[in-house]
Amino acid sequence: DIQMTQSPSSLSASVGDRVTITCRASQSIINYLNWYQQKPGKAPKLLIYPASSLQSGVPSRFSGSGSGTDFTLTISSLQPEDFATYYCQQSYSKPLTFGPGTKVDIK
Amino acid sequence: QVQLQESGPGLVKPSETLSLTCTVSGGSISSYYWNWIRQPPGKGLEWIGYIYYSGSTNYNPSLKSRVTISVDTSKNQFSLKLSSVTAADTAVYYCASGERWWDYWGQGTLVTVSS
């Protein structure tokens, strides 16, 4: 199985901050990396696939980059509704696996 | 707009079989891939497996011996059966659509394994 790690595991930020979350795969996954946002009590929401395409309806302040083993999710200007947990997920090979998540909360 | 809704018992006894159904509305199940994903309370996400509308399946090897996913195209539903459950199977179970990433999700249903 491909193992996914994320850093940091949590961060505190203010509205308007630029936020960067990193995801690393245990082997090359080309660009088969997706990002989700999850708020408490809700299902995950697809943000980015694969690696850099913005899902329809997702604000342009979200962007994804990377290839191979290292990937980044960037929120250019954090908004109040962005406080949530963010998960990366590899779709290169089965079983499909997730990172452990990064919780973004209010400073 | 495709919508998914999970249904099934919220409490299952240890060693028994967990059974859930996902009803798809706003679109036909006769295309695309249909998945089950779970999340233990306070923990991360785990992909359980998917079924293609034709009936072909792909399961997470960690659960493969206990999992069956089936589809009923006449009812626009697909189902999950997980046998021999233990407390470790307590989780919110989500159904979702997509082969490699998931753009539509159900709201999730909490299944607790307890006697």
Q: Which pLDDT score is estimated for A106?
A: 87
For residue range B49-82, list pLDDT tens digits in order. Answer: 999 999 999 999 999 999 999 999 999 999 999 9
Nearest chain B residue to A50, by CA: B101
Query: Model confidence at A107, in pLDDT bands (50, 70, 90)?
Result: confident
Q: Which pLDDT score is estimated for B21?
A: 98
Between strands A70-75 and A84-90, the pairing is: unpaired
Nearest chain B residue to A51, by CA: B101
Distance CA B33, CA B98 (A): 5
List CB contacts (< 8 A) between A50 and chain B.
100-101
CB contact under 8 A, B100 and A95: no
What are the angstrom distances between the C-alpha of B16 and each of A59, B68, B84? Answer: 44, 14, 5
Distance CA A20, CA A11 (A): 10
Q: For A41, phi and psi rounded to 5 degrees?
A: 75, 5
